[in-house]
Structure 1
Amino acid sequence: MYDEELRRKLAAETGRIAWPELQRHFARGVLIVVGPELDLVEAAARIAEDDRAVVQEWIRGGQVVRANDDHARHWSDSECTLWAVVVAPWVLVQESRPLRVH
């Protein structure tokens, strides 16, 4: 079932956040990385809706993974900010896509 209201709510709650603010979530093991090929809000909605078939497919494809030490090192070294949204107990993050100039 497609819940447009849920997607609007999640989109409104999505924001940019610096790595130091995410470290405690990483330490708790609840930081989930959403690959750049996915829409962060759609991924959050599918998780919130418990759409196991789609989420499992993303996990198998490596498009949704639990943040690991390599992620943490990269984010720390690059001092980047990430897009984030909470779908309790998870915090989903996605690296910002570079702007394309045409």
Structure 2
Amino acid sequence: MSEQAEQREILKAKLNQETAKASWQELQPFFARGQTVYVAPELDLIEVALAFSEDEAEMIALWRDKAQVDKVTDEQAAAWFAADKGLWTVVLPPWVLVQPESVQ
């Protein structure tokens, strides 16, 4: 394994350990500051976090074009607040990536 691949795996493991569930109410201060980023449920939250941490602008732009990654909208925030929604989160300062829990 190359050193770059090894570093990526270490970062991926670190991000995985930092992933946590939070209620939307807990995330309100970050939303108010424009720091919450929606990640669609069909995406791997850790892979998206890796793309952000490695500044993979092309990949992020592709996801944005497909409406799979973008700043949380007022409509999303209102719906999550009303539903007391739980979300998976990863903090990558200044961003907090949020992903609705999948309904199995």
TM value normalised by structure 2: 0.91
- The match for 1:41 is 46
Amino acid at match of 2:12: R
- Residue segments in structure 1 that go unaligned for 5+ positions in a row: none
RMSD: 1.0
Q: Distance in 2 between matches of 1:68 and 1:31?
A: 9
Q: Distance in 1 between matches of 2:11 and 2:64?
A: 22
Within the alignment, does 1:72 sit opposite 2:77 as a pair? yes
Amino acid at match of 1:32: V
Q: Distance in 2 between matches of 1:42 and 1:81?
A: 20
TM-fit CA distance, 1:53: 1.0
1:44-100 deviation per Cα after TM superposition (whole angstroms, max 9, x unaligned): 01110001111111111111010111011111111111000011110000000012x
Within the alignment, does 1:28 sit opposite 2:33 as a pair? yes
Q: Distance in 2 between matches of 1:29 and 1:80?
A: 19
TM value normalised by structure 1: 0.93
Q: Percent identity?
A: 40
Within the alignment, does 1:94 sit opposite 2:99 as a pair? yes
Amino acid at match of 2:29: R
Alignment: residue pair count:
99
